[in-house]
Amino acid sequence: MAGRDSRRRARSRGRGLGACQEGVGLRRIHGRAAGLAHDQLRLSQRPPYVAVHVPDSPVPRRVVGGRSSSPRGGFACFCGGCDARHGGVYSSSLVLLTVGTGTYARDPSSSQVQGGRTTDKERARVRLRIPALFVAIALVGSALVAGVVVWSSPTGAQGDNEPATEACDASTAERLDLYAERINKNRIGYGLEPGKPTVPGPTIEMTEGDCLAIKLHNATTKKVSLHTHGVDYTTRSDGTSLNRSCVRPGRSRTYVWQAHLGSMRDDNSVEPGSAGYWHYHDHCRGGAHGTGGIYRGLFGGLIVRAPDDPVPDVEPCVLVMIGTTFNFKRGPKTPLCQANLGQRAEFVVITHGDLFHTFHLHGHRWADTRSGSLEAMDDPSRVIDNKTTGPADSFGFQVIAGERVGPGAWMYHCHVQNHSDLGMAGIFLVRNADGSMPPGAQQALDKFKRHDH
């Protein structure tokens, strides 16, 4: 752990609050704000921090869970259960606002943005159309602490009078609202706000030990549900017609999930924890197995981290392989995944539909493990750059962008050749460390846009 912490300190050292690069700031607080945050906050072991990230690409993201091992100026100042001695405020969450190339904190009571340069015009653009990077938005603001918003969450999850005894205590669970809505005549998506559905739906992130109560609002004309993989729930939260846990049109229902820590059973066997790269989807629309909902876009990613897992420097790139598409798109309209040279990037790959695929990323490798990382120098796990995946499979991994190979436009694609030929390919753009475009990368992007690859 000491080595990992020192690496985090090295990456964050010397960055000012107004000098964050694109994609940096997701879990970082820099400069003066970092010092104040870590000086004035005592992080709990398992904070239920809450933030909402709403990018154009690849997907919006809701975060639940946290880390407490961050060094000064390092990762993860989104925290809950924190003793914010500044002003005597007991916080339940810290939220960071990242716009463009600066990291800011917004005071809900004023129009001021602290910690970087911005203009009224830029703020208006953020409010109206959401930037191509991401915005971490405070759901409810109550105080401002030198570059971070201190947000107090409600105590107790209130549902639709359905919650009963679940796999975890719904009365103290973190709460999240999801909305199932039509996007167009062919697509239906989940969204964090009414009128803002996306495909894939928001990526939900938890840490082992977290409990999450999700209230699903059905604004479609047919029943839908929320069925998850990888975490614990009772039959009331199964999201199937078999267990009568669908949501009828115009109604809502609360689903409760728990991510548990690993432990030893009474017979001395190991019960693995929930950590992994998982996903959720509809299991009711178009039949008992939700086939109609999945083929219309009712699915999304779920990341569950172990307490010691490294966190990425940039927003995860979520890629759903369905038919011969990524996220229902074929090249050149597939998601553009991006990171700067040396940043820790994260990929989440999910497969739906009836086809098997192989996912290949050029220039980068990962371990074929739960986290995509090796545990030690002598870890015997395979290191791969291509993985076979079938319907309902999901996996993920982290890479250091451009490590040993340099920046540039690196292709990702299905290595089933006729799938790739049909456009099942995209680009992982690794910019220079300063965020600038490396030589030849723009030409490669232009060529890819002509689907000449």
Residue-range domains of the chain with CATH: 2-151 (no CATH), 174-305 (2.60.40.420), 317-449 (2.60.40.420)
Supply the pLDDT for residue 288. 83
Q: What is the CA radius of gyration of the chain?
A: 21
Q: Which of 21-35, 283-297, 395-409 has the lowest mean pLDDT?
A: 21-35
Query: How is residue 443 annotated by DSSP?
Result: H
Percent pLDDT > 70 in the chain is 62
Q: What is the mean pLDDT of residues 27-54?
A: 32
Alpha carbon 411 to its chain centroid, in Å, reads 22
Q: Which pLDDT band holds residue 453 (cuts at 50, 70, 90)?
A: low
Distances (CA, A) of 281 to 169, 175, 251, 284, 299: 23, 18, 18, 9, 4
**In 3D, which of 91, 175, 98 has the Cα closest to residue 141?**
91
Distance CA 417, CA 360 (A): 12
pLDDT digits (tens, 9 = 90+) for 355-374: 999 999 999 999 999 999 99
Please, what is the average pLDDT of the chain?
73
Q: Does residue 226 surpass a pLDDT of 50?
A: yes
Distance CA 274, CA 307 (A): 11
Distance CA 172, CA 167 (A): 12
SS3 assignment, position 447: helix
Which is it for strands 344-352 and 317-322: parallel, antiparallel or unpaired?
A: parallel
Q: What is the mean pLDDT of residues 63-88?
A: 33
Distance CA 286, CA 58 (A): 26
**Beta-bridge partners for 149:** 95, 144
pLDDT digits (tens, 9 = 90+) for 109-167: 333 333 333 333 333 222 222 233 333 333 333 322 222 222 222 333 333 434 333 44
For 300, residues 6+ apart whose C-beta sits below 8 A from its C-beta are 59, 190, 200, 201, 202, 203, 204, 279, 280, 281, 318
301: phi > 0 → left, psi -120 to 50 → alpha, else beta; which? beta
Q: Which pLDDT band holds residue 346 (cuts at 50, 70, 90)?
A: very high
The residue among 413 and 143 whose pLDDT is bigger is 413
ω into residue 332 within 30 of 0, thus cis? yes
Distance CA 45, CA 69 (A): 9
Distance CA 125, CA 127 (A): 5
Q: What is the mean pLDDT of residues 423-428?
A: 98
Amino acid (1-letter code) at residue 13? R
Q: Give the angle subtended at the CA of 149 by the CAs of 129 and 199, to the nearest 5°.
A: 35
Q: Which pLDDT band holds residue 24 (cuts at 50, 70, 90)?
A: very low
Distance CA 231, CA 235 (A): 13
Distance CA 434, CA 400 (A): 15
- Residue ranges of alpha helices (H) inside 62-109 are none
For 444, residues 6+ apart whose C-beta sits below 8 A from its C-beta are 408, 409, 427
Distance CA 143, CA 69 (A): 24
Q: Which of 20-34, 154-168, 298-312, 367-381 has the lowest mean pLDDT?
A: 20-34
Quick check: 424 and 330 in contact, CB under 8 A? yes
Q: Does residue 304 surpass a pLDDT of 70?
A: yes
**How many other CB atoms are there within 10 angstroms of residue 400's CB atom?**
15
Quick check: 22 and 135 in contact, CB under 8 A? no
**How many other CB atoms are there within 10 angstroms of residue 105's CB atom?**
27
Which is it for strands 174-182 and 211-218: parallel, antiparallel or unpaired?
A: parallel
For residue 377, how many C-alpha atoms fall within 13 Å in the half-sphere facing its CB? 0
ω into residue 438 within 30 of 0, thus cis? no
Whether the pTM exceeds 0.75: the reply is: no
